Structure 1
Amino acid sequence: MSILVTGANGTIGSLIVQRLADAGAEVKALVRQQGKRSFPAGVTEVVGDLTDVPSMRAALSSVRTLFLLNAVTPDELTQGLIALNLAREAGIERIVYLSVIHADKYTNVPHFTSKHTVERMIESLDIPATILRPAYFMQNEQMVQQVIQNHGVYPMPIGSAGVAMVDTRDIADVAVAELLRRDRAPAPLARTTLELVGTDALTGASAAQIWSSALGREVTYGGDDVAAFEAQMASWGPAWLAYDMRLMMGGIQKFGMHGAQDAVDRLQAILGRPLRTYAEFVAEAISAA
């Protein structure tokens, strides 16, 4: 019996596939297009789509454990609900679902509410699952790194409420730990929820200061204008996604992204090491540029 990883071509999914393979697990990697990425030896590439029921039924056969990741798309909710229903139909009782932190607070943000609805299905049907709720990804900053370095402006309008950004590598490592824990258990385990956060509550100003220190020159915060942020995103991507991200930034400015008091300690106990810091990420990103 194997572990099926959805979103296997993506940033987090590909990390999870690699780490599971390194741990000796039997892994199936669900992809929409075959041959797009080179997977580790022994990993079985499975072509399917989360809204294509026949392909998902085939992908879920001979699977004991499921990692469910839905990309931010207009039909994200449909994808998540279909995948979970088909997993139940296949008798899969070991699931790790990648949600998002504060999905219950950001009720006007489409991809947050989609994930919250999937969480409600997991909870109402008492599905044996780990729900992972990550905060804003540090790796999102790579989209604006050139602006930061070339123009001395930190442009993400994250405001001053504080965002405990988390490194995607830490997300993947926690996900793998939970997948292996569930996969290797003699019986399905009780449902649990983990908030995936970093150690620092960053503001726009403090993030800019970290970049300033790492670059050795001034970087200023670009401000809280979410309309300008939407316009910039819409210049290179779909308008619906730009608006979704604008709404998310509005939520970040209002609520922030903070884990529970013990969240960092719980994660570091699972990992057996400290979480990566934002300053470490920034230094690494500059070095790799």
Structure 2
Amino acid sequence: MTILVTGATGTVGRQVVEQLVKRGADVRALVRDTSKANFPASVGVVQGDLLDVDSLRNAFSGVSTLFLLNAVVPDEYTQALIALNIAQEAGIKRIVYLSVIHGDRYVNVPHFAGKYGVERMIEQMDLNATILRPAYFMGNDLTIKDVVTEYGIYPMPIGSKGLAMVDTRDIGEVAAIELLRREQSAVPLPLERINLVGPDTLTGSDVAAIWTDVLGRKIAYPGDDTAAFEQSLRQFMPSWMAFDMRLMSERFITEGMVPEAGDVERLTTLLGRPLRSYREFATDAVAST
């Protein structure tokens, strides 16, 4: 009985592999570049691509449970649909899919709309899956840590509605728990959705205040200039992706990412411990400098 992890060399995928190995699972990692597959010796590594049907058929052979994670790329939706169809063809009846919270509300944001489309496919095809819906990753803010420390501002335009930011380590652990729950069940389990959130719902000003406390000097929140945010992102990512991120930030401002009643308690019970907070994340980020 083998669990296949796609996106295994990425931020979340590595956490999923690590948590599964820790729990003694038989893990296979699907990777595009085997040179990045520095996993424990017990992990089977197979090279492939989510658009390469032959490589997927090879990777999915003998797999009992699938963790499907798609990177934010222009053909993300196509990749996911191909992978799920090949999984169905291979007889895989246990799936955990990493989607995103509020995909049904952020309807104009490309990577949200794509993930929500995949959710609808999973439901319409009556696939046995857990759909994980994470909120904003705390780890995204590692990319702007130098801006915070050098310029004294928190530059992410996240608004005043609040985001229930989640630690990727918590995402990886919940994913592993769900994969094993499905893997170890005598029968395929029905469709389930889980919102993955952090313990606190934070505004831009809240996050700036946390950095102020952690660094011991004033960090400001300059506001919600999404156009400037897009232009800044274009320096190190393609224009389509920068625009996608701008559209996302605009929905942060108008909608927020607020958990549903019971989300935090459900995750705390599932993990058997408190969720990691943004303050812990910021403290660790500074300590690792």
Q: TM-score range by the shorter chain?
A: over 0.9
Question: Which SS does the other structure have where 1:150 is aligned?
Answer: helix
1:9 counterpart residue number: 9
- 1:259 deviates by 1.4
The reply on whether 1:102 has 2:90 as its aligned counterpart is: no
User: Contact 1:65–1:93 (CA<8 Å) still a contact in 2?
Assistant: yes
CA distance in 1, matches of 2:36, 2:195: 31
2:80 counterpart residue number: 80
The percent identity for this pair of structures is 57
Q: Residue by residue, what CA displacement relative to the aligned partner does 1:10-35 show, whole Å, maximum 9, x if unpaired?
A: 01101111111121111100000112
Query: What TM-score do the two structures reach when normalised by structure 2?
Result: 0.99
- 1:114 deviates by 0.4
The one-letter amino acid of 2:160's match is: S
Question: Which SS does the other structure have where 1:221 is aligned?
Answer: coil
Equivalent residues in 2 for 1:176-187 (5 A)?
176-187=176-187
1:24 counterpart residue number: 24
Deviates more, 1:12-21 or 1:207-216: 12-21
1:222 counterpart residue number: 222
CA distance in 2, matches of 1:220, 1:233: 20
The reply on whether 1:93 has 2:93 as its aligned counterpart is: yes
Runs of 5+ in structure 1 lacking a partner?
A: none
CA distance in 1, matches of 2:33, 2:215: 39
Equivalent residues in 2 for 1:270-281 (5 A)?
270-281=270-281
The one-letter amino acid of 1:94's match is: R
Equivalent residues in 2 for 1:56-71 (5 A)?
56-71=56-71
Runs of 5+ in structure 2 lacking a partner?
A: none
* Root-mean-square deviation (Å): 0.6
User: Contact 2:9–2:31 (CA<8 Å) still a contact in 1?
Assistant: yes
The one-letter amino acid of 1:48's match is: G
The one-letter amino acid of 1:90's match is: A
The one-letter amino acid of 2:190's match is: A
CA distance in 2, matches of 1:86, 1:259: 33
CA distance in 2, matches of 1:225, 1:271: 37
Question: Which SS does the other structure have where 1:163 is aligned?
Answer: coil
CA distance in 1, matches of 2:259, 2:216: 31
1:131 counterpart residue number: 131
1:260 counterpart residue number: 260
CA distance in 1, matches of 2:215, 2:287: 10
User: Contact 1:34–1:47 (CA<8 Å) still a contact in 2?
Assistant: yes
Equivalent residues in 2 for 1:208-219 (5 A)?
208-219=208-219
Q: Residue by residue, what CA displacement relative to the aligned partner does 1:164-188 show, whole Å, maximum 9, x if unpaired?
A: 0000000000000000000011110
CA distance in 1, matches of 2:151, 2:185: 52
Q: Residue by residue, what CA displacement relative to the aligned partner does 1:59-93 show, whole Å, maximum 9, x if unpaired?
A: 00000000000000000000000000100010100
The count of corresponding residues between Structure 1 and Structure 2 is: 289
Query: What TM-score do the two structures reach when normalised by structure 1?
Result: 0.99
Question: Which SS does the other structure have where 2:97 is aligned?
Answer: strand
User: Contact 1:134–1:197 (CA<8 Å) still a contact in 2?
Assistant: yes
1:157 counterpart residue number: 157
1:207 counterpart residue number: 207
User: Contact 2:31–2:37 (CA<8 Å) still a contact in 1?
Assistant: no
Q: Residue by residue, what CA displacement relative to the aligned partner does 1:124-179 show, whole Å, maximum 9, x if unpaired?
A: 12210000000000000000000000110000000001000000000000000000
The one-letter amino acid of 2:170's match is: D
User: Contact 2:31–2:46 (CA<8 Å) still a contact in 1?
Assistant: yes
CA distance in 2, matches of 1:40, 1:23: 13
CA distance in 2, matches of 1:131, 1:153: 35
User: Contact 1:133–1:195 (CA<8 Å) still a contact in 2?
Assistant: yes
The one-letter amino acid of 1:234's match is: R
Question: Which SS does the other structure have where 2:257 is aligned?
Answer: coil
1:121 counterpart residue number: 121
- After TM superposition, which residue ranges in structure 1, 4 or more long, deviate above 3 angstroms? none
